[in-house]
Amino acid sequence: MRTIFVAVSFLVFTLPVAAQTEGDLILGQTAPDFTLPYATKDSVARKPLHLSELFGKEIIVLAFYPADWSPGCTKEVCTIRDNFDALEGLNAQVLAISGDYVWSHHEWAKYHNLSFRLLSDHTHDVARTYDSYNDKSHYNKRTVFVIDKRGKIAYIDLAYSVADMGSFDKLKKALGDLK
């Protein structure tokens, strides 16, 4: 009996896994859909946002970030805010996503006069789907995705940095290439 158990156990643990796991997003694939509550500087929305309802209208920038009110995240969203006209000129709509609640998003957006939507992914399910969740810190990673008008992933930056304008410049170039 003991030998059979070891053989079965060995087989179970050494079989290769062929299924695609979350975080395996690639350029050109349809962006995973989601529905999340959101806030703006003006209000907390009554109805949640459905990503797929935006397909076909504008290019979408999904900007995952760790937390409202932190220095790095404030720098990131203020960079987007200060360059929002350039992004809008490239026909892009920004959706910033963290695990904070919509009430925090609303106050943070008001305080910094942010002109884009802040989505609340409190369970981090969307962040996990987009390989934008850090299991060790339990916060979102700082990542950026661009979704074209057809709903396809056109740009991925899994190491977006606020240290300088390099990552933002790459984002603008990717948006310009889609125009």
The residue ranges of every structural domain in the chain are 27-41+55-178
Exposed (0-12), middle (13-18) or buried (19+): which is 101, by Cβ within 10 Å?
middle
Provide the annotated active-site residues. 73
In the predicted structure, residue 114 carries a pLDDT above the cut 90: no
Homologous superfamily in CATH for domain 27-41+55-178: Glutaredoxin (3.40.30.10)
**pTM of the shown model:** 0.80
Lowest mean pLDDT among 17-31, 98-112, 115-129, 133-147: 17-31
Q: For the residues 74-103, what does the mean pLDDT come to?
A: 76
- Residue 10 banded pLDDT, cuts 50, 70, 90: very low
- Residue 44 banded pLDDT, cuts 50, 70, 90: very high
For the chain, the average pLDDT equals 80
Amino acid at 85: D
